[in-house]
């Protein structure tokens, strides 16, 4: 296995630091003058209208959209000169949670998680079994390991999505509308899990359009608006909800 950078934070103590970044889709500017600093243990809500750049910003952080303008540091890696062969190692340092779960429908919950571990370099069966059970325990789903995805509710499938994101003990969680397909009570349950993960020292960046969650749960709020990022204060969020 290739040696990875030993430190996940930079000299400023940030696990994410983007400066003067411009994010494009082809020639279309999605976000400009992006300056973001995130420390371990911070919970960040990323808000904004559909198409405002939330997902594009997350994709830049995990290098699905390569950084071409500005400077970027994420979880020990410079996004400016990261080599293709190092991108999988960057992504092992983060957990990514999607709105649509993205579970493999032809295998059980346990085998979904086993597939991820095997794909990310694990080989010892006993260690893999222990890690899968630990991740399932973190989301209270140990008893569902034998189930197929279609046998689970939407909330349960997203819990498995969170468990999958935790398999490699990441220091950074990127969640793209993780409660978008869920009812309010289930959304609250998942937020409790994500905030617990954050209190353990992980940084969590969550894109959402659910302002009620932002009112209920603590965190910094960054808004994508008119190709810019703007830090929002709680009073502004309260006004929008009302």
Q: Is residue 21 part of a domain?
A: yes
The predicted-structure confidence for 81-106, as pLDDT tens digits, reads as follows 999 999 988 988 999 998 888 899 99
Q: Is residue 47 part of a domain?
A: yes
- Asked whether 95 and 23 are in contact (CB, 8 A), the reply is no
Q: Is residue 2 part of a domain?
A: no
Q: What percent of the chain has pLDDT over 90?
A: 82
Q: What percent of the chain has pLDDT over 70?
A: 93
C-alpha pair distances (Å), 17 with each of 58, 73, 170, 221:
13, 5, 17, 16
143 and 84 assigned to the same domain: no
pLDDT computed for residue 235 by the predictor: 47
Measured in degrees and rounded to the nearest 5, phi and psi for residue 53 equal 120, 5
150 and 221 assigned to the same domain: no
pLDDT computed for residue 239 by the predictor: 45
26 and 83 assigned to the same domain: yes
C-alpha pair distances (Å), 72 with each of 23, 96, 173:
12, 18, 17
120 and 68 assigned to the same domain: no
Say how many domains are in the chain. Answer: 2
135 and 181 assigned to the same domain: no
The predicted-structure confidence for 111-167, as pLDDT tens digits, reads as follows 999 999 998 889 999 999 999 999 999 999 999 999 999 999 999 999 999 999 999
- Asked whether 53 and 36 are in contact (CB, 8 A), the reply is no
Domain encompassing residue 126: 102-169
């Amino acid at each position: 296995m290739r040696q990875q950078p030993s430190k996940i934070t930079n000299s400023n103590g940030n696990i994410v630091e983007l400066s003067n970044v411009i994010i494009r889709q082809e020639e279309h500017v999605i976000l400009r003058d992006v300056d973001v600093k995130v420390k371990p243990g911070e919970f960040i809500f990323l808000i904004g209208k559909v198409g405002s750049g939330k997902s594009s910003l997350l994709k830049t952080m995990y290098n699905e959209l390569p950084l071409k303008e500005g400077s970027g540091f994420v979880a020990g890696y410079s996004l400016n000169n990261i080599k293709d062969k190092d991108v999988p190692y960057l992504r092992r340092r983060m957990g990514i949670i999607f709105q649509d779960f993205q579970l493999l429908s032809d295998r059980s919950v346990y085998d979904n998680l086993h597939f991820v571990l095997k794909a990310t370099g694990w080989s010892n069966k006993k260690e893999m079994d222990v890690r899968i059970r630990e991740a399932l325990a973190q989301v209270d789903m140990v008893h569902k390991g034998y189930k197929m995805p279609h046998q689970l509710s939407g909330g349960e499938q997203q819990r498995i999505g969170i468990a999958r994101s935790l398999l490699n003990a990441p220091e950074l969680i990127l969640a793209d509308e993780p409660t978008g397909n869920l009812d309010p009570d289930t959304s609250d349950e998942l937020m409790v899990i994500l905030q617990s993960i954050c209190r353990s020292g992980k940084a969590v960046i969550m894109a959402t359009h659910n302002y009620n969650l932002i009112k209920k749960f603590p965190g910094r709020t960054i808004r994508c608006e008119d190709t810019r990022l703007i830090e929002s204060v709680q009073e502004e969020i309260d006004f929008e909800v009302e």
